[in-house]
Amino acid sequence: MILGIDEVGRGPWAGPLVIGAVVLGGAEIEGLTDSKKLSKKKRDELDIVIREKASGYGLGWVHAEEIDKIGLSEALKLATIRAVEQVNASYHEIMIDGTINFLKETSKGQFVTTLPKADLLIPSVSAASIIAKVARDNYMAEQDLVYPGYNFTSHVGYGTAAHQAAIAQLGITPLHRKSFAPIAKIVGTTTKKIGDGGEDAAGAYLIEQGHKILERNWKTRYCEIDVVSSKDGTVFFHEVKYRRTSIQGGGIAAITPGKLKQMRFAAEFYAAKHHLSSPLRLTAIAVTGVTPKVETYLEIE
């Protein structure tokens, strides 16, 4: 009557962390071992048998947003607690694969034994690793329908070259763990590249319309302006909003009253700093597309 516990999804760049918890009771299931040593077909077959024959089982899920908020260590504890709470079978011992007692701070912590490679040695822990792996893999496969182009079925969120290439092309999704260093680095690089591309497109458009570009990415500790240009004696202050596709919503919608107030302050600050007496105009430029193109140019005031 051992409650076996194992985790799946500690290291991927995207997707949830899943903890499996299983009490086999008197069930004897042939072929149980570390889920990573089994073929997908065998895991799927064993998953069905485990759910049918086990005295009890549970799955604890912690998704990317929670992982980013609380960190991986706390996420492992939370997922373990969630898994154990679902088990309605009796047990006299808890066995966790690894060296860390994720239940230490709970009332069940005193009943825990930790054991490296327990998923190879203890049948209930093997069963826990299998149901967690199958559940997580199935979930990630479903995400291909939600986020086409990432091929989550293949890499299930791990940092493969294909996954990195998809992020570079398509950006990140809500599945991605932004607190993980590789994703944070990719996001930072991609965001800057996209932003620069949007401003390049906006600058080219303005030049075509007869503007002279005075500044790009003008910043102070108080404010910033994407593009400053002049035309016919008027100085224009442009807010550039990029959207990869029009489905994400028009960039102009991002010019809220609060944002407009910031833009007005930035323009006045720039004019004062450069001793300008020319008329000032605020504009918004919406840029869309994988190859950025100006979709909307709007003079706001």
Domains located in the chain, CATH noted: 2-170 (3.30.420.10), 194-299 (3.40.1350.10)
Rounded Cα distance between 259 and 267, Å, is 12
The whole model's pTM is what? 0.65
What per-residue confidence (pLDDT) applies to 247? 46
* pLDDT per position as a tens digit, 136-195: 999 999 999 999 999 999 999 999 999 999 988 888 899 999 899 888 887 665 555 666
Rounded Cα distance between 102 and 290, Å, is 44
What per-residue confidence (pLDDT) applies to 189? 57
Rounded Cα distance between 95 and 59, Å, is 15
Count CA atoms within 13 Å of residue 21 on its CB side. Answer: 28
Q: Judge whether 158 and 175 are in contact, CB under 8 Å.
A: no
115-133 burial string, b = 16+ CB within 10 Å, else e? eeebbbebbbbbbbbbbbb
Mean pLDDT, the chain, whole residue set? 91
Is the pLDDT reported for residue 251 higher than 80? no
Is the pLDDT reported for residue 131 higher than 80? yes
Q: Which band of pLDDT confidence, cut at 50, 70 and 90, is reported for residue 199?
A: confident
| Across 52-72, average pLDDT | 96
Q: Which band of pLDDT confidence, cut at 50, 70 and 90, is reported for residue 248?
A: very low
Q: Give the H/E segment covering residue 185.
A: helix 181-208
Is the pLDDT reported for residue 289 higher than 90? no
Is the pLDDT reported for residue 83 higher than 50? yes
Lowest mean pLDDT among 81-95, 151-165, 197-211: 197-211
Q: Which residue has the higher pLDDT, 254 or 271?
A: 271
